[in-house]
Amino acid sequence: AGKESSASPAASPLPSESQLTPIKPVQITVLKAQDLKTIKSDVSVTLVRVEYNGAILGDSSKTDVLPNGTVNYNFMTSFECSPNGPNSLDDIAQKPVVLTVIEVLQKEKRQKENTVPLGQAVVDLLPLLQGQCSFKVSAPLYAVPTTPLESLQPEGKGGLEVTVCTKEPLLSATQLSNGNLLSVTLEAAYSVPKAFAPTGPLQNYMACLQVPAAGEKELPLLFKNGILKLAGEKEPLPRPKKWPHANIMAPGALSIPNSFIVGGPYEDEDGELNKREDREFRIQAESMKRIVWDMERRCYLDPAAVVVLQKRIAECRYWPVEVCRMSVASPSKGKTSKADKGDEDKQIFFHGVAYVNMVPLLCPGVKQIRGAFRVFTYQDSEVFEKTRSQHSVFRDLRSQLGLTKEGLWTPGISTSLSRAVPSKTQKEDKEKITKDKDSNRKVRSREAYCNMPFIMPVVALDSTTLRKQCLSSQQYVDAGTFLVMEIKLDKALVQKRLREELTRRVKQMIPPRPPLPPRTEGAKKAVEDYHNHVTSIAVAILSEYQELFGKQLSDRGAIDHQTLQEQKRQLNFKLNTSGKYFAFKEQLKYAVVKIVREKYLKTTAFETQEQFQAFLSELYVYLVDQMHVALNQVLSEEVASPAPQFRMTEEQLWLFAREAEVNKDYKLASLYHQQRVAQDRRNIQSWLDYGAFCLLIEETTKAQECFQQALSLDPHHIQSLLLCGVVAVVLQHYEDAEIFFEYACCLEPSSIVAWTLSGLFYELQNNNIQAEMAFREAKKLLQAQLTKERSIPEAAEGEGGEKHISAACVRSPSPGPEKCLPGNAGQNQEVPEHQQGGGSEQCGSFYTMLLGFLCPHQGLSPRSCFRNKKPTLGLMETLFLAAPSPVSGLSQPPRTIFMKAVEFLMKVNAIQFVHMALAHELLSPQGGPSCAYYLALAQTYLLKEDFSKCEECLCEAIRIDYVNPNVWAQKGHLCYLKRDFGEAKECYERTISFVEDAADMHFVYLRLGSIYLEEKEYGRAKQTYLLACKNSASCLTWLGVGIACYRLEEMTDAEDALSEANALNNTNAEVWGYLALICLQGGRRLEAEQCYKYTLKLGLRNSALLREIRAAQQRLGFGDPSL
């Protein structure tokens, strides 16, 4: 016990603490013991002894045991806690109060009274360092074995009620808030060298690391007496942690109360050997020969020490944890006369070091790291290079370890050396080491390897001893030894922003959108009342008119304008002079007030005149519109059947916008996006897609407005948060970006994309520590996801090979990934039949189509694709996704976090982040220059119209995966933009020949069909466009079908197709142009003229088509009103 407490001077707190913290007594009161008879049934008299830090604080008086096994001691004692004394705050943290219940045996005549330890209990004083001034515990009492060979149950069989109190807190408010508690748990060393054997002389297996304190001080944390266990069952989980002290006699009392080793999945660890390929090795090693400590050491860090700890970790991420084996001297060898002999037995061999990466502790909110760490040979030069540590911990602690004499320690050597004369144990170790070596050449090479860095030994060493020590340490590497340990802080070194604070900051930047005003039944009733009043007033005015002028309209037909104005003047005069005008106005007044209150919810006065005028303007427009509605109902002689309303869905609008983007018609694309937003201003996805379009055309500020609008609709929407962060980075609003990324990770800690984008952002800010933490978290999540996917391969096969789309990806709403990809629609599905009919039916259909143009809000519903089902868009889910190799037959999701991020970023046109992610992908061990990498890079160059670099990337992608349909599709797009239509045609035909479709088949069909039209292969063009219509119909796809049918002289099908095109977009001049040609060929003069008029009005750019129309007009003699 005395030796154990001798470590305290090295771990003493700062000198400045003595001025801040006076000596404070700690009072311990043992109230009573319970259930003593469960330990020993005939016990009658006992006393309790209180020990702390190796010193006996006192014994209670002898007390009789009651029949129920209870003993009332009521014994009080105390010790002083002093910063510079033997009982420092560091001692309070790591040393318990030991309570021993001693049985007092009845003495024989003239014999001294005998005492026997009956049981022991420990009391953890840690609550005193957590701000408590007093606490009461019921400490389990564990039996003390009567002989060393006796085996006892670990469960406590009794209990001691103990109170601990101080007059004032041990820590000041500053120490409590800014200080910290560090605990290090060394669990075990696995896969140890074969030379470690339970036979032969006793060995002490030790480990040690130093924790920096304020100034130049170091706190050594030493773990002794590791237990060598042979192969067998794994260590149980959970299992208790143990005190690192030897003055506890009861085995059960060695366990720290309420402190357990719980383990966990290897993938969640922070150290090494946590990859999937390491799993089998870890499982095998845990059931083989190992050294077990299961010890926890703690130390208190005052505020100054916390600052130093933070600084040291930032300066050097790796900390050395040294391990060694030392022979234990037998009692006969401990005499002074045989000191030299004892020195020989206490040489340290198997000196190794594990490098623990402490950087995660500098990440916000991180309080612990746990994992496996490989053990390497201890070499001064290597340790200094990695950890900046200039000396071994064991050298500093040689007096505590009972090592060799001062002059025999050799600091330049990788192990602590003593004498040149090898001991018997060393000879045995040497035999075990060299037994498996196949030649002396390896031994000589390792000797040279070990000797290289050791250029300044203090004393000359025998070459045999040096070789033994080098070879013994090398065995750690050969065996693959690793330590499992945990380093834990009571409080994080870097505090993490609370979720409430992040929410508040986001609300400050983007106020939540106010909810829509309630629409009550009262509002509907108010409008109906208004209609009724308008109707009654209209009927009254009509009666007044007929009284003055009679029913002239039906008899005499239309009235000229001058006469009508004169009648209006006379009617107004009569109404005003009779007072009926005022009566009508008063009658309507109440209905208007009701609308203002019930529909607009205006019940208070306006603050400014401007607000009042704006409201009046809005109200006037609404009342006039509703008046027209009411009047139309009154004046209609017969209710005409309403034209079928056609309203494009948001999926259709998104597809049309994408077509316009690809065709570089950004004005039209913007119009479609605005229409989509206007249809439902509370649709988050519409805002996100509009913002992504704005990023494409480099209108960053407008993109920011769109993303913020989406976030205002739902402040917890992860994609909106990420995109706000991305655009904030582009605009160099880095503080805002950090809030967005951090909040996204806080709301959705399982989002791989969120953590990856956070890592890329922190790297951009040169915050390498947080970047590394974010990447590690993303990799951990991806590994878990891939493991889960591998565990259920049947489910993946059951989905028919659909693409797996990450939940973190932003995309337009669609029926789902498995339904929207063109490959799943089925190549053999029949095209919907077109309606057939005679000339009268065609004329009626054509009139309805014209009505759709004249009334833009009404139109013809598509008669084939959009009537009975939603469109399945080939481009709804992704612009780009690398297809798998044909071996698997399944589309594989990205296998690295960076390609996951690239997949997300490409969809929103965030090119800056794409290049950062691709740079990481190139260097990633799991990534590298893959087909997906080159395909993504080619996509970025294609957006920038850098065709030469795009072609280079696609060539590399083809070389890696020659049968990837996405590669050939991208190459086709490249050739098409370069106007190399022959090469583009070959690439597109190869793309559609694959069993699995490319990701953007819609544009493959569109562009291949246009090439067929140019080359006058009208039959193939028709079939290609029909494939596009089947998957994702649009105005352009039906236009292509119509053109092909017209050239094939299939006029009925051509008109049907063009009618579908016109219904989807009645502002396409080319559609009207071909309709004009069809009408000309069919001899329909009026329709031909109308179509030609709209062709010119919409500005047809196809000069060849315009010449063809005019030639037909000249030939047939009609179709142009100017002729």
pLDDT value, residue 786: 84
| 8 A C-beta contact, residue 273 and residue 282 | yes
Q: Please, which residues have CB within 8 angstroms of residue 148's CB and are 6 or more apart in sequence?
A: none
What dihedral angle (degrees, nearest 10) is formed by the CA atoms of 779, 784, 790, 792? Answer: -150
Residue with tokens 């991208």, as numbered in its chain: 970
pLDDT value, residue 467: 52
More confident residue, 412 or 979: 979
pLDDT value, residue 1024: 95
| Nearest-angstrom CA–CA distance, 868 and 876 | 19
In this structure, are 470 and 548 located in the same domain?
no
| 8 A C-beta contact, residue 725 and residue 751 | no
Instruction: Indicate the length of the chain as a whole number.
Output: 1123
| 8 A C-beta contact, residue 916 and residue 897 | no
Tokens standing for residue 163:
């109170």
Query: Mean pLDDT score of the chain, rounded to an integer?
Result: 79
In this structure, are 168 and 189 located in the same domain?
no
| 8 A C-beta contact, residue 524 and residue 626 | no
- Terminal CA-to-CA distance of the chain, rounded, Å? 118
| 8 A C-beta contact, residue 155 and residue 454 | no
pLDDT value, residue 330: 59
| Nearest-angstrom CA–CA distance, 1062 and 1075 | 9
Query: Which pLDDT band, with edges at 50, 70 and 90, does 148 fall under?
Result: low
Which range is least confidently modeled, 161-175, 509-523, 731-745, 867-881? 867-881
| Nearest-angstrom CA–CA distance, 4 and 53 | 8
What dihedral angle (degrees, nearest 10) is formed by the CA atoms of 103, 106, 111, 115? Answer: 0
In this structure, are 169 and 207 located in the same domain?
no
| Nearest-angstrom CA–CA distance, 65 and 82 | 37
| 845 in a structural domain | no
| 8 A C-beta contact, residue 291 and residue 239 | no
| 852 in a structural domain | no
In this structure, are 121 and 185 located in the same domain?
no
Task: With a cut of 60, say whether residue 876 has pLDDT above it.
Answer: no
Angle (nearest 5°) at CA 264 between 259 and 265: 170
Task: With a cut of 90, say whether residue 736 has pLDDT above it.
Answer: yes
Which whole-number Å values give the CA distances from 674 to 331, 681, 812, in the listed order? 91, 10, 15
pLDDT (mean) for 568-578: 85
| 979 in a structural domain | no
pLDDT (mean) for 438-465: 38
In this structure, are 260 and 185 located in the same domain?
yes
Tokens standing for residue 590:
């109440």
The CATH number given to whatever domain includes residue 67 is: 2.60.40.150
The Cβ-side half-sphere exposure at 134, using a 13 Å CA radius, reads 9
pLDDT (mean) for 546-560: 66
Task: With a cut of 60, say whether residue 640 has pLDDT above it.
Answer: no
Choosing from 576, 601, 635, the residue where a domain stops is 635
pLDDT value, residue 400: 61
Tell me if the bond preceding 238 is cis, omega within 30° of 0.
yes
474-500 tens-digit pLDDT: 888 989 999 999 999 999 998 888 888
pLDDT (mean) for 1055-1073: 93
| Nearest-angstrom CA–CA distance, 267 and 812 | 34
Q: b or e along 615-653 (b: 16 or more beta carbons within 10 Å of the residue's beta carbon)?
A: eeeebeeebeebbeebeeeeeeeeeeeeeeebebebbbb
| Nearest-angstrom CA–CA distance, 973 and 1010 | 13
In this structure, are 273 and 166 located in the same domain?
no
Which segments of 215-351 does DSSP mark as H helices, in order? 279-286, 303-315, 339-345
Task: With a cut of 80, say whether residue 859 has pLDDT above it.
Answer: no
Choosing from 145, 175, 205, the residue where a domain stops is 175
Task: With a cut of 50, say whether residue 710 has pLDDT above it.
Answer: yes
pLDDT value, residue 848: 37
In this structure, are 167 and 268 located in the same domain?
no
| 1065 in a structural domain | no
In this structure, are 210 and 166 located in the same domain?
no
| 881 in a structural domain | no
Helix (H, G, I), strand (E, B) or coil at 843: helix
pLDDT (mean) for 96-117: 81
Task: With a cut of 60, say whether residue 690 has pLDDT above it.
Answer: yes
Q: Give the whole-number percent of the chain exceeding pLDDT 90.
A: 41
Query: Which pLDDT band, with edges at 50, 70 and 90, does 473 fall under?
Result: low
997-1032 tens-digit pLDDT: 998 899 999 999 999 999 999 999 999 999 999 988
Q: Please, which residues have CB within 8 angstroms of residue 870's CB and are 6 or more apart in sequence?
A: 649, 651, 815
| Nearest-angstrom CA–CA distance, 507 and 505 | 5
In this structure, are 356 and 398 located in the same domain?
yes
Total domains, the chain: 3
pLDDT (mean) for 77-83: 89
375-409 tens-digit pLDDT: 999 888 888 888 888 777 776 666 566 543 333 33
310-366 tens-digit pLDDT: 988 888 889 999 999 888 765 554 444 444 444 444 567 788 999 999 988 988 889
Which whole-number Å values give the CA distances from 74 to 26, 32, 62, in the listed order? 16, 6, 11
In this structure, are 99 and 244 located in the same domain?
no
pLDDT (mean) for 1081-1100: 92
In this structure, are 455 and 555 located in the same domain?
no
pTM: 0.69
| Nearest-angstrom CA–CA distance, 776 and 769 | 11
pLDDT value, residue 645: 56
| Nearest-angstrom CA–CA distance, 69 and 74 | 16
Task: With a cut of 90, say whether residue 190 has pLDDT above it.
Answer: yes
Q: Which domain does 24 fall in, by range?
A: 2-175
pLDDT (mean) for 237-247: 88
| 1059 in a structural domain | no
Choosing from 175, 193, 223, the residue where a domain stops is 175
495-549 tens-digit pLDDT: 888 888 888 888 888 876 666 555 555 777 888 888 888 888 888 888 888 888 8
In this structure, are 128 and 257 located in the same domain?
no
Quick one: 724 exposed, middle or buried, by C-beta within 10 A (0-12, 13-18, 19+)? buried
| 343 in a structural domain | yes
Which range is least confidently modeled, 92-101, 291-300, 813-822, 1094-1103? 813-822
More confident residue, 722 or 382: 722
| 426 in a structural domain | yes
